[in-house]
Amino acid sequence: MKAGSNFEKVLAAGHFAVTGELGPPQSNNIEVVKKKAGFLKGNIDAVNITDNQTSIVKMSSIAAAAICIQQGLEPVFQMTCRDRNRIAMQSDIFGASALGCLNMLCLSGDHPNFGNQKTSKKVFDIDSIQLIALAKRLRDERKLLDQEKQFNSELKLFIGGAGNPFSRPFEFRALRLAKKVMAGADFVQTQCVYDMERFRDWMKAVRDLGLHEKCYILAGVAPLRSADMAAYMAANVPGIVIPDGIMKRMNSVPKDKAGEEGIKISIELIEEIRQVEGIKGIHLMAIEWEHRAGEIIERAGLLPRPKVE
């Protein structure tokens, strides 16, 4: 056990894991976090707390993660390389750990150009793979970056990274995942999967490198809410590939039925994903749709969530 979190225990026990996602509010409103946590609690094994996603200022991921712990929901706090240098990163990891956060996801972070602070100075002192290595060093060696002196407390952390099967160069994506595993990633959550064929190809490359045995891989699933959303994501969000078949299905139903169709597609995708060798769970990104997450997970036959000790 690296951290002994519920999430890690579920995976270690061989259960098919389910993680969710919670986007903190664009304010200091604790009630929003509590409400979203309430929808997710009991339906998932842990919840990812996004770190100023798309570079839009939101409540701190660590603060929201701490609130989730108070609500009885285990968080995976996300940390991007966009806003912190290595001083702040190590400091925040200490802080998150002190607040009881046991799972961490290391990300590059969206470029500031996307958000509401476009003219800010981007940091990117280190990158996501270096952040994984840094977190592992803190945990396993109890040493700060470039420092030999050990700190004298235990730091438990289940460290994750992101995997992207749908970006160029396709050939390098599995190799880059290998770099994350080499750096110390214990688990990996992938970008949203819609294109099963390409996903299977990527997983084959991942298995050929033996990565599925060195880390837990969770496939990303995001229910489509409308045909417009699908078209927008396919055209603008990097790493999202939506096959024609799914686009057609989204377009063929009336607007008020599109959400239901999106959920059906997600459930089918989860079914297919479960058949892929080496996949240990799903990461459900029901963005601003936290109240429907439970229903999707239930209909996918993934409830109740296992209790592990």
Q: Which positions touch other proteins (CB under 8 A)?
A: 81-82, 86, 108-111, 113-114, 122, 124-130, 133-134, 145, 162, 164, 166-172, 175-176, 178-179, 182-183, 191, 238-239, 241
User: Shortest approach of other proteins to residue 192 CB, angstroms?
Assistant: 11
The structure tokens listed for 198 are: 């390409």
What is the closest distance, in whole angstroms, from the C-beta atom of residue 166 to other proteins in the complex? 5
Task: Kindly give, in sequence order, each residue whose CB lies less than 8 Å from that of residue 10, ignoring residues fewer than 6 positions away.
Answer: 17, 45, 281, 305, 306, 308
Separation of alpha carbons 277 and 294, rounded Å: 25
Contact 183, 130 (CB under 8 A): yes
CB of 286 to other proteins, least distance (A): 20
Name which of 98 and 182 has its Cβ closer to other proteins. Answer: 182
> Which tokens hold the place of 273?
């994903």
Nearest distance from residue 307's CB to other proteins, in Å?
33
Classify residue 190 by burial, with Cβ atoms within 10 Å: 0-12, 13-18, 19+.
Answer: buried
Nearer of residues 82 and 249 to other proteins, judged by Cβ:
82
- Cα(130)–Cα(113) distance, rounded to whole angstroms? 23
Is 34 or 198 the residue whose CB approaches other proteins more closely? 198
Residues 6+ apart with CB under 8 A from 209: 174, 175, 177, 178
Instruction: Considering the complex, state which of residue 71 and residue 167 has its C-beta at the smaller distance from other proteins.
Output: 167
How near is the Cβ of 211 to other proteins at its closest, in Å?
Answer: 13
In the complex with other proteins, which residue's Cβ is closer, 59 or 246? 246
